[in-house]
Amino acid sequence: MHLKLQETLMVGQFTFEVSPFPGIKFVALGRRLIQDVIVGCMHKEKAAPVAKDSHLNAFMLAATGALACIAADMVHEAVGHGIASLLMSDPIQSLSTVAIQNASPNRFVSAAGTAANLVVGVVSLLFLRRIRRLTPSAYFLWLFGAFNLFNVGYLVASACMNSGDWAAVISGLSPSWLWRCVLGLVGIIFYFLSLRWVASLAIDFVNHRQVAIADGRRLVWPAYLAAGAVLTVASIFNPMGPSLILVSGIGASFGLNCGFLFLPRIVARKANYHGIGEGRIPFSAFWFSMSVFICGLFIGILGPGIKFSN
């Protein structure tokens, strides 16, 4: 007579049958249990976000980028060209977002715009090295320094198109092709060095656990697009002709600042920290409103230009 004793044991969602000969069943059920646990853990890992980018508000990133680019543009036009014009006693006829018009051409005045961008950009990034936390002000300094330094790409543009500030600087020098080659080479070298420096500061933010690697594109794209849009829209109203929309609007914004687009890949390749960023750039209605107001002034007043009576 064969007697079968069986008892059912419930553990969580798993059912075990306890019998006089449990060996084979328990081995199979144990193996299934281990597989279910492993698969469950894998699903949890896939569901867990690598980085939470909700701490970096896209509207604030865009607003900060627009302000930083406007400030860098004013460094170039008003501070660089403007002060040089006063030093050379070269009367200023008009000031706009794309150019400053003088009574007569001057090499020193033409070179002063990019020179001012380089000096201000270096000072900004040197000051930023003292800051370890990602705050709205630190982010502004990083963007402001980058926008200023990337203006060195103007040398490459002038060498290729034989127009613009640096074409005026080397105008009349011979042989022309050699000076243009030297100008372009110097521009490429300085742009590469500027890109490396800006990238190293972004890597520092990551390694200091302020930004996650996954936040690289979010840190760059809103600011880049907002800055390019503001300069391009402002250039539409320039008083010197529609040709400057392409050269000094789209070219000077999206073109010269294209170094930003390489930053996420550089940071992802060289950063050591792979966790979640602790930095915060939350939305601020006050600062966002101020940014919109300043952008409006920039486009509405400096876009058409300000004329000076001499």
The reported pLDDT for the residue numbered 217 is 94
Helix ranges (H only) for 162-284 are: 165-169, 176-207, 216-236, 243-244, 263-270
The reported pLDDT for the residue numbered 69 is 97
**Mean pLDDT of successive 10-residue segments in the chain (310 residues)?**
41 42 41 42 36 74 98 97 95 92 91 97 95 93 98 96 93 94 97 98 95 94 97 93 86 94 96 92 94 97 88
Strand 14-18, strand 7-11: pairing:
antiparallel
The reported pLDDT for the residue numbered 6 is 41
The reported pLDDT for the residue numbered 130 is 87
**Helix 216-236 vs helix 263-270: crossing angle, to nearest 10:** 160
CA–CA separation, 212 vs 209, rounded Å? Answer: 7
The reported pLDDT for the residue numbered 195 is 98
Residue with tokens 């979640």: 276
The reported pLDDT for the residue numbered 38 is 38
Residue 110's alpha-carbon distances to 62, 165, 175, in angstroms, are 30, 5, 20
The reported pLDDT for the residue numbered 105 is 86
Buried-state track 125-153, b at ≥16 Cβ within 10 A, e below 16: beebeebeebebebbbbbbbbbbbbbbbb
Read off the tokens for 210: 């302020």
